Structure 1
Amino acid sequence: MKVLAFAASNSENSINQKLAAYTANLIPGAEIELLDINDYEMPIYSIQREVELGKPQQALDFYEKITEANAIVVSFAEHNGSYTAAYKNLFDWTSRIDMKVYQDTPMLMLATSPGPSGAASVLASAIGSASYFAADVKGSLSVPNFFDVFDIVSNKMIDENVQNSLISLVAKLTD
């Protein structure tokens, strides 16, 4: 199974990237490709820019990565209760290639934050709009207080409840 994992964040030290990678690595026998959305940076989307530029290669490349995947693990960072500007822009450009961005690929949607909300607002938004973009969401999880439940040094989940939840999600993805 080829699994595409990424954080919807452009932070160099993204805790969402850590969560996506950790979760993807729980999938038995998976071939994991960990994307950094910084590699897909483009001008801010607008109709005028699309007319001028066409579809940027970065958007085409991102769409192709989704096409090649058998499963997706994405973890959403939250900026002011919503998507990060970096992810939203990548998504907007990619949706101009095909509104069915996720191409019915089975996926897990995650979110985390250092605080008690666990980026729950952006995760709810992503789940709520998933069907419009052909996202076959098999499960989701918001992880609050990331630094209390995940050991950055050992790169391991230290909270048994969160670990068990992730294992259950992975099982739904691989069924």
Structure 2
Amino acid sequence: MTTPRLFGLSGSLRKGSTNTRLLEEAARLFGACDYILADLNFPLYNGDDEAASGVPEIVKAVAAQIVEADAVIISTPEYNGAPSGVLKNALDWISRVEGSTWGGKPVAVMSAAAGRAGGERSQMILRSCMVPFRPNILQGPQIHLAASSDAFDENGHLKGEMYVKELTELMQSLRKLI
């Protein structure tokens, strides 16, 4: 069997983002794979811009990477009780690409946030945003990484035994869907 291709979408563009670190840790716990993190630094979606210039090349490239991936992992922060604008904007743009980018694609979602709930509300909303795309979203275990700025050691690995166990289980389940 070839090495699985795992593609990550982080809802945060911030350098040192705990959502990006959570995706890197998920890829590590997934095991042997080719992992790529998406560049979601897209322009804001505007139908007039799309009509005038078409779908930007960066969006087409990310959509193609999703299609080529064996599985996708997504991590979202929680901003005001919802996923980040970066992530929602990316999903809106990707939906404008011709063809079925997400159809049946194995997807694992997770969240990392400063609050006690670890982004639970944003993850719930993200799951509903994904419904029209018809991916195969794993239902659990759900990873809501609370107090995320203190959740990683100096090597970027998760500190909490419970989080490591649940993220490992989620990644093993994702591997089985490939």
Q: Same fold (TM over 0.5)?
A: yes
Flag the structure with higher strand content.
Answer: 1
C-alpha RMSD of the superposition: 1.7
Q: What is the match of residue 172 of structure 1?
A: 173
TM-score (ref. length: structure 2): 0.88
1:50 matched to 2:50? The reply is yes
Identical-pair percentage: 23
For residues 21-40 of structure 1, the aligned pairs below 5 Å read: 21-38=24-41
SS at match of 1:18: helix
Output the CA distance in 2 between the equivalents of 1:36 and 1:100.
20
For residues 1-80 of structure 1, the aligned pairs below 5 Å read: 1-38=4-41, 41-42=42-43, 44-80=44-80
After TM superposition, the runs of 4+ consecutive aligned structure 1 residues lying more than 3 A away are: 98-101
Q: What is the match of residue 154 of structure 1?
A: 155
> Deviations 1:51-110 (Å, cap 9, x if unpaired)?
111111111111001011001111011211122222222221111115854232111100
SS at match of 1:142: strand
Aligned length: 171
TM-score (ref. length: structure 1): 0.89
Where structure 2 has 5 or more consecutive residues not aligned to the other structure, the ranges are none
Output the CA distance in 1 between the equivalents of 2:99 and 2:123.
19
Larger displacement relative to structure 2 (123-132 or 56-65):
123-132
SS at match of 1:25: helix
Output the CA distance in 2 between the equivalents of 1:64 and 1:87.
17
SS at match of 1:5: strand
> Deviations 1:8-65 (Å, cap 9, x if unpaired)?
1111221100001111111122111123423xx22x2122111111111111111001
SS at match of 1:150: coil
Output the CA distance in 1 between the equivalents of 2:111 and 2:17.
11
